[in-house]
Amino acid sequence: GSANNVSPWRRAIMYLIYNAVSNACTNGDRPWFQNNRDFTPLTAIDDEDLRRLT
């Protein structure tokens, strides 16, 4: 495991894993958060939109 959080702020980890649409997962026996069935391709956003999210 990881070390204790010594900062006053909450610590969370988000994993984002992506594949080519042609490499879509065919095994559907996992929970949705491990095997999401949405194969919508990623789209680029403007840098300014990304800055607003931070």
Q: Quote the number of domains for the chain.
A: 1
- Distance of alpha carbon 25 from alpha carbon 36, whole angstroms: 9
- Distance of alpha carbon 14 from alpha carbon 4, whole angstroms: 17
Task: Give the pLDDT confidence score for residue 2 in this predicted structure.
Answer: 74
Record the pTM: 0.37
In tens, the pLDDT along 18-50 reads 778 788 777 768 787 777 777 788 888 888 888
3-class secondary structure, 8? coil
Task: Give the pLDDT confidence score for residue 19 in this predicted structure.
Answer: 78
Give the residue numbers spanning the domain of 7.
1-54
Q: What is the mean pLDDT of residues 6-28?
A: 79
16: pLDDT strictly greater than 80 = no
